[in-house]
């Protein structure tokens, strides 16, 4: 008898639901590049696209016991990414793709609504973390990451040197990653627990 070594996505989902780190890694390998390319297509920002992919997989891990899908996670992961993109577009209401996403959300089934609620809670945590930063870091992070201004424009707007903006942005993002947990930090803490 020939040994079947190819692991199906269905078996990976079952293992993930039971807390398998290997299954999670395999699912990440299967989808992360596609989710990144998809997010980049709409956000036009490599950093934002990376953040979206990290957030989607963090949420997948933290909600693994509640996964209803049994055969594939493709639609779930892309819906989660779309919710992240929608929220990013909401902060930039004039973005041309925003209306397209609003139309899309109207087609979501009621079953998908809980992802939006979870994401809203996540955004509240982000806002709390930003509010806890020193004043200059708050302003720089908001202008850079939410309003997508260049360091030069932020420097002009806040009457700071460009180097100060870079330093404050770096410190602010580092602090936020510590408060919220970047992908690897969150996964590490979950694995330890």
Q: Is the pLDDT reported for residue 66 higher than 60?
A: yes
Confidence of residue 14 (pLDDT cuts 50, 70, 90): very high
Q: Are 73 and 23 in contact (CB under 8 A)?
A: no
Q: Per-residue pLDDT tens for 145-157?
A: 767 789 999 999 9
Closest C-alpha among 115, 114, 111 to residue 83: 115
Q: Which of 87, 37, 89, 84 is nearest to 57 (CA)?
A: 84
pLDDT tops 50 at residue 2? no
How far apart CA 151 and CA 149 sit, in angstroms, is: 7
Q: Two tokens at 58?
A: 């963090």
The label of the residue with tokens 């260049």 reads 150
Which residue would you say has higher pLDDT here, 53 or 3? 53
Q: Of 48, 117, 59, 118, whose CA–CA distance to 85 is shortest?
A: 48
pLDDT confidence tier of residue 121, bands split at 50, 70 and 90: low
Look at residue 122 in the predicted model and tell me its pLDDT: 55
pLDDT per position as a tens digit, 98-119: 455 455 555 555 455 554 545 4
18-22, 70-74, 130-134, 172-176: which has the minimum mean pLDDT?
172-176
Neighbours of 158 (CB within 10 A): 16
H or E stretch covering 40? helix 21-43
């Amino acid at each position: 008898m020939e040994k079947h070594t190819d692991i199906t996505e269905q078996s990976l989902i079952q293992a993930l639901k039971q807390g398998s780190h290997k299954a999670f890694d395999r699912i990440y390998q299967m989808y992360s590049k596609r989710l990144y390319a998809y997010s980049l297509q709409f956000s036009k920002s490599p950093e934002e696209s990376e953040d979206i992919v990290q957030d989607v997989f963090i949420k997948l891990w933290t909600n693994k016991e509640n996964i209803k899908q049994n055969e594939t996670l493709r639609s779930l992961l892309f819906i989660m990414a779309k919710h992240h993109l929608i929220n990013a577009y909401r902060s930039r209401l004039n973005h041309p793709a925003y209306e397209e996403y609003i139309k899309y959300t109207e087609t979501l089934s009621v079953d998908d609504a809980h992802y939006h609620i979870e994401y809203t809670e996540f955004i509240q945590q982000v806002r709390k973390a930003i509010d806890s930063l020193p004043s200059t870091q708050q302003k720089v992070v908001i202008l850079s990451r939410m309003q997508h201004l260049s360091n030069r424009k932020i420097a002009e707007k806040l009457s700071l040197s460009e180097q100060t903006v870079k330093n404050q942005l770096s410190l602010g993002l580092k602090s936020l990653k510590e408060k919220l947990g970047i992908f690897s930090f969150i996964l590490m803490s979950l694995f330890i627990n």
